[in-house]
Amino acid sequence: FCTSCHSMSYPQAELKESTHYGALGVNPTCKDCHIPQGIENFHLAVATHVVDGARELWLEMVNDYSTLEKFNERRLEMAHDARMNLKKWDSITCRTCHVKPAPPGESAQAEHRKMETEGATCIDCHQNLV
């Protein structure tokens, strides 16, 4: 749905080329990363659809995204907004697929323990993956 009425076709094409797409037979869509799923997150999903959806519709009307270059003029701001949502939600959409991640290597494991001991969340270290 997201790409049917606005210029998110650029990020969708990038997603399909990323390591997230097709990994272990999974093909995530926009909602998998940008809309919290599950009944326990229903309030977040509704708020995201209403608040972010209305905002995105407005921005689509007042900005020109007709080319990738024009889209890229606002990419950093859009990426920042997406990261702030993930941080605010404690990266719940990441954790839906990445349940109890166990990275190889001692330093990566130590960094992952910070999620429990220091309140870090996925997006604090893993930015711009897609």
Q: Where are the domains of the chain?
A: 6-124
Q: What is the predicted pLDDT for the residue at 87?
A: 92
DSSP one-letter code for 33: H
67 burial (CB, 10 Å; 0-12 / 13-18 / 19+) is exposed
One digit per residue, the tens of pLDDT, for the chain of length 130 reads 677 666 888 888 888 998 888 877 888 888 898 999 889 999 989 988 888 888 888 988 899 988 999 999 999 999 999 999 999 999 999 888 888 888 888 988 888 888 888 888 888 888 877 7
Cβ–Cβ under 8 Å, residues 60 and 7: yes
Cβ–Cβ under 8 Å, residues 14 and 130: yes
Q: What is the predicted pLDDT for the residue at 18?
A: 87
> In angstroms, rounded to a whole number, what is the distance separating the alpha carbons of residues 66 and 73?
12
Q: What is the predicted pLDDT for the residue at 5?
A: 65
Q: What is the predicted pLDDT for the residue at 6?
A: 65
> In angstroms, rounded to a whole number, what is the distance separating the alpha carbons of residues 32 and 53?
15
51: amino acid identity, one letter:
V
Q: What is the predicted pLDDT for the residue at 23?
A: 78
Cβ within 8 Å of residue 78, ≥6 positions away:
none
Q: What is the predicted pLDDT for the residue at 127?
A: 83
